[in-house]
Copies of this chain bind each other. A is one copy, B any other.
Amino acid sequence: MYRDPVQSLEAPLLPSSATAMRPLRVGMIGIGTVGAGTFRVLARNQALIAARAGRGIKLVVVCARSLARAMSVVGKDVALTNDPMQVATHPDVDVLVEAAGGTAPARDWVLAAIRAGKHVVTANKALLAEHGNEIFAAARQHGVAVAYEGAVAVSIPIVKALREGLTANRIEWVAGIINGTTNFILSKMRDEGVGFAEALAQAQALGYAEADPTFDIEGLDAAHKISLLAANAFGMPVRFADAQVEGITTLQGLDVACAEQLGYRIKLLGVAKRRKHGDTDGKAEGKVEGVELRVQPALVPATHLLAHVNGSMNAVMVKGDASGVTMYYGAGAGSEQTASAVIADLVDVARLDGTHAAQRVPHLGFHPHAVDKQLAVLPRAAVHTRHYLRVPVHSAQQIEAVGAWLAAQHVPVLQVALAHDKALPPGSGPQVLVLTDAVAQATVDLAMHALAVHPAVAGPVVTLRVEVLA
């Protein structure tokens, strides 16, 4: 037993003890999945959250379309309104929680709150990917915080890890599985051998995909998130519009099976990587520096930790020059999982008095004067990765011809194999599988154009990126 040291916890607190502070007063727009989860967790863990934050966190006003439905969630002790602007500028509100989603009106509410001197907490990745630069600039001018832990891989404190936990490091890359819907679909395709359409239907039936799943399956949601992570990792503005985005809608079960044969699994990855233009390993001197910012289905080695992130889970890996590789894993969606992040942001604000909150951690992790506006997203042609190619051929004997031809086109071939029969659907012709070393996308594109009319080739050639991430 540690009697003495434990007793010394009774040491008198400083006079400025946080216990004497008034609660942090929260106004919320939207009481759907995120809003209701936030209310529920705040209520359930009220005492515990106050013990951590040093003061209470109190929901004082909610804006909802249906006041009756809102009251069924939050009860009678919270003021209700139909007018979002009333919450955004409410005199009794210290922090606005924007839980409505969407971009156009949410931008107006958030800017109004900022101009009224309110801190803002949001999990709205679309809003920040499209209007983040404007919103953060306004927040800086008005001395308030805009916190957004819930905008990326909800339950995982990855924004905090990048902005605060890894500040010693020059970040080399950030990459990960940051969309739960597509990871669920890809896990189904691999585990059950079903095609994309069937896996999507299952995801919709189970509530892992929305009725209109476009944002998820086309990779836009992941692109929103990787744009925010890249800004925090590299000290650049949010560059969502420049990201290269591919979804999984055209991914074939055949390629999932062929990847498996080669010892790989296919995951939809968001990747942000700092590189000297024209350099494959990030170490060339004297060239223009840029950032690869991209979302695409990619092969990862089956032994890699990311290959074992299944179902709707998310995981983000970060490579720092001092830390080496670290990884952050958790739920990528869900009501209380998002609430966990929203409330952590509220506690961060509560732990500071208002005048210091905005200054402590810059919105994008770097002080604004140090954000590099010249650091641009590299064009697609300049992206360097390993590649997987699947080449349908007329006869298995053509495997050597395909390999030799690719090598002659300056594609650095590492491995050539024939797809096993068990990977092929009934009636499929022979397929040559190729793994390359790192090569510029421009070189691959040129080779693909030429390969399309090569006499050995019996159908459309598929190329996918291979990510090593070590």
Contacts and interface: CB of A to CB of B under 8 A. Distances in A.
Contacts of A370: 50-52
A445 interface: no
B362 A54 contact: yes
Given A48-B170, A133-B9, A326 B156 contact: yes
A314 B132 CA distance: 35
A234 to B, nearest CB: 10
Count identical subunits in the complex.
Answer: 2
A367 B6 CA distance: 14
A168 B45 contact: yes
Interface in A288-303: 303
A275 B235 CA distance: 44
B359 A337 contact: no
A107 to B, nearest CB: 11
Contact of A2 (B133, B149, B340, B358): B133
B149 A165 contact: yes
Given A9-B133, A359-B16, A51 B329 contact: no
Interface string A316-350: 00001111111111110010110111111001100
Chain A contact residues (Cβ within 8 angstroms of B): what range?
Answer: 35 or more
A167 interface: yes
B12 A347 contact: no
Interface string A164-208: 111111100000000000000000000000000000000000000
Contacts of A76: none
A321 to B, nearest CB: 7
Contacts of A138: 8, 11
A344 B155 contact: no
Interface string A343-385: 1100110011000101111100111111101000000000000
Interface in A241-287: 241-242
B343 A323 contact: no
A58 interface: no
B352 A329 contact: no
Contacts of A455: none
B344 A6 contact: no
A352 B360 contact: yes
A465 to B, nearest CB: 23
A361 B369 contact: no
A401 interface: no
A180 to B, nearest CB: 12
A42 B45 CA distance: 40
A212 to B, nearest CB: 26
Nearest to A38: B168
A2 B77 CA distance: 43
Contacts of A42: 168
A415 interface: no
Interface of A: 1-2, 4-6, 8-9, 11-14, 16, 18-19, 37, 41-42, 44-45, 48-54, 131-134, 136-138, 140-141, 143, 149, 155-157, 160-161, 163-170, 235, 237-239, 241-242, 303, 305, 308-309, 315, 320-331, 334, 336-337, 339-344, 347-348, 351-352, 356, 358-362, 365-371, 373
